[in-house]
Amino acid sequence: MTEQAQTETRTGTPAETDAGTGAVVVAEAGSPVPAQAGPVDVDAPSVPVPAAAPVLAADPVPPVDPVLATEAAPVPAPAPKKSRRVLWGIVRWTAAVLVCGGVGAGAAMGITAMERTDVPGLATESDGRWEYPELALPALPEGVQRPFTDGNEAEIHHTDVRKLLLPAPAGATVDPKLKGGWAGVDSYLAELTEQGRGEVKAYLADSALRHVAARGWTTPDGTSTRIHLLRFSSVAFAEDFKDEMAGRLVRSEWLPDGVETQEADAGTTQDVEVPYVAVYAYKEAEPYGPRQTRWSLIQAGDTFAVVTQTRKGGTLTVPFQQTVALQAQLLG
């Protein structure tokens, strides 16, 4: 009996095989076409069918082996390998960067370890300060204290005042008459005008003056410096002499030799602050002669100091202030 194959409309299914003959039926969706009974001659001419529903005969399509399908799938080509020349270039640039970084870090460490004055182009121009040697206070005898400390209410310097003199700075020529030893009263009086020497000498004779120590030097710029330390028997005599000297200077008396008029040197004293030490500074007022003089009065406990500087063309503020500050610190 001839079985009639029924077509089944399936969207996207191009062909089906007849259950009895194995014939392949190809149809478009919505166009039922009767299947051909019996074997199909592949070489026979095809039966014309309407354009809307073509029927094609073909050999049976064997089922596709999934393994073969997988093996048949195209394999993507491997990514091209980077050129060795490119890789070698990267290696060379990396090495160059590391070397430059190491050299730069070493140079930076070397520069930071150097003093500013040792670095070319970064040397700090001198502001005029002198180079003094390292300063240190002298040792005290056992059982005594420094002035302005507990246990020394009398504010006495229990040490040789010669050791409290400021040393000469580097490059200076020391005055052979004022080498840091004991000096007589006349050495100090020589710093004053002739009109005031007699009065000052009489005042000192009545004030129980004990010692006078002095040191002097001249620096290459022509500045002449003299420091006199006058030690009294008590702080009261030293303070009285300081007050008397300051009062006379206001009246232009007891002036340094060669000075006719004076004015306060506030620029020096405002930056010199040593606890318990009184500091006064003066300078020769304009117009002055070929040389100018500056001087300072320092009173610390039982000791009175006078710092005097003279220089042709005018004294310099920085080295004068520096000298006064250091001498005040040694006494304080």
Q: According to the model, what pLDDT value does residue 268 have?
A: 87
Show the domain range for 219.
161-331
186 in the same domain as 320 = yes
Q: Taking the complete model, does pTM exceed 0.85, yes or no?
A: no
**320 and 219, same structural domain?**
yes
Per-residue pLDDT of the chain (332 residues; tens, 9 = 90+): 434 433 333 334 334 434 443 333 333 334 443 444 444 443 444 444 444 444 444 445 455 444 444 444 455 555 555 556 655 666 566 666 555 555 455 544 454 444 545 544 444 556 899 999 999 999 998 889 999 998 899 999 999 999 999 999 999 999 999 999 999 999 999 999 999 999 999 999 999 999 999 999 999 999 999 999 999 999 999 999 999 999 999 999 999 999 999 999 988 888 888 999 999 999 999 999 999 999 999 999 999 999 999 999 999 999 999 999 999 999 99
Residue 85 maps to a domain: no
The verdict on residue 312 lying in a domain is: yes
Domain membership flag for residue 114: no
- With helix as H, strand as E and coil as C, how does 119-166 read? CCCCCCCCCCCCCCCCCCCCCCCCCCCCCCCCCCCCCCCCCCHHHHCC
Q: Could you tell me which residues are beta bridge partners of residue 307? A: 227, 296
Whether 88 is covered by a domain: the verdict is no
Q: Which residues of 119-157 are buried (b: 16+ CB within 10 A; e: fewer)?
A: eeeeeeeeeeebeeeeeeeeeeeeeeebbbeeebeebbb
User: Which tens digits make up the pLDDT trace of 184-199?
Assistant: 999 999 999 999 999 9
Decide if 149 is inside a domain: no
At residue 147, the pLDDT reads: 94
Asked if 37 and 172 sit in the same domain, the reply is: no
Is 151 part of a structural domain of the chain?
no
3-class SS of residue 215: strand
User: Does residue 41 form part of some domain?
Assistant: yes
Q: Which residues are CB-neighbours of 59 under 8 A, at least 6 positions away?
A: 24, 42
CATH no. for residue 323? 3.40.1000
pLDDT at site 37: 40
> Looking at the domain assignment, is residue 215 inside a domain?
yes
The number of angstroms, rounded, from the C-alpha of 44 to the middle of its chain's C-alpha atoms is 103
The residue among 32, 47, 72 that closes a domain is 72
For residues 200 and 315, state if they share a domain.
yes
User: What total of structural domains would you count in the chain?
Assistant: 2
At 48, give phi and psi (nearest 5°). Answer: -65, 135
Q: Report d(CA 239, CA 311) in Å as an integer.
A: 29
Q: Where among 49, 72, 95 does a domain terminate?
A: 72
Domain end, chosen from 28, 43, 72, is at: 72
Encode pLDDT of 84-118 as tens digits.
665 566 656 666 655 555 545 554 445 444 454 55
CB 313 within 8 A of CB 324: no
Q: What's the CA gap between 135 and 275, in Å, rounded? A: 18
Exposure on the CB side of residue 310, measured as CA atoms within 13 A? 11
Q: Residues 71, 38: contact at Cβ < 8 Å?
A: no
165 and 269: one domain?
yes
